[in-house]
Chain A
């Protein structure tokens, strides 16, 4: 089946540093990938939509200069949290929509295992 991986699964960093999270579709190509953030006991909130070869689309309230997204290939999207602060500590989950999937809504979207970020 379709598998999406994320790396790292866990990261602890000091305040002010930058952290890069990778999202890979292992056995399919994904023109579109999505980045979500989940705080404890809260729902997943879409941060941005990442499109291969073009700029990401950010949701309202998400700082594009703080959360840098690069979708350089059909199997890889990266999220870089720049100048991380303790309030950025969260669970970040990506998902990937197969290029050959349906166009009517998100008929097929595969989720990664998530990356837990702790900023000290």
Chain B
């Protein structure tokens, strides 16, 4: 059974810092990996999707990498802003399901 772990569980940084969120998974037989953002009491916003054959994806200040063989992914956020404050969820895609981690709660202070 796939298990997804995210570290750290919470992170507080001052505005402008670059930061890295980590995601690890136990079964490397995946189809893709996605990073989502969840604001308090809200649904999910997809940030980046990396196919199993890809190494990384970039969108604006966000860069996600995937090392399938070691079961790891990182989400890099450059020049963080207070508006980036949210919970970031990593989800590993199997053939027909998504397995989510518990998320990293990010707080960016002005």
A contacts, CB < 8 Å to B:
6, 34, 36, 41-46, 49, 91, 93, 95, 104-107, 109-114, 116
A43, B100: Cβ atoms under 8 Å?
A: yes
Q: Is the interface of A mostly helix, strand, loop or mixed?
A: strand
- Indicate whether B71 reaches chain A with its CB closer than 8 angstroms: no
Q: 10 interchain pairs (CB within 8 A)?
A: A36-B100, A43-B4, A43-B100, A43-B103, A44-B100, A46-B97, A107-B51, A109-B46, A111-B43, A116-B41
- Given A43-B4, A43-B89: A106 and B43 interface contact (C-beta under 8 Å): no
- Indicate whether B32 reaches chain A with its CB closer than 8 angstroms: yes
Which residue on chain B has the smallest CB distance to residue A41? B102
Residues of chain B contacted by A42 (CB below 8 angstroms): 102
B contacts, CB < 8 Å to A:
4, 30-32, 36, 41-46, 49, 51-52, 89, 91, 93-103
- Given A42-B102, A111-B43: A106 and B4 interface contact (C-beta under 8 Å): no
A-B pairs with CB below 8 Å: how many?
61
Residues of chain B contacted by A106 (CB below 8 angstroms): 31-32, 93, 96-98
A46, B44: Cβ atoms under 8 Å?
A: no
A43, B94: Cβ atoms under 8 Å?
A: no
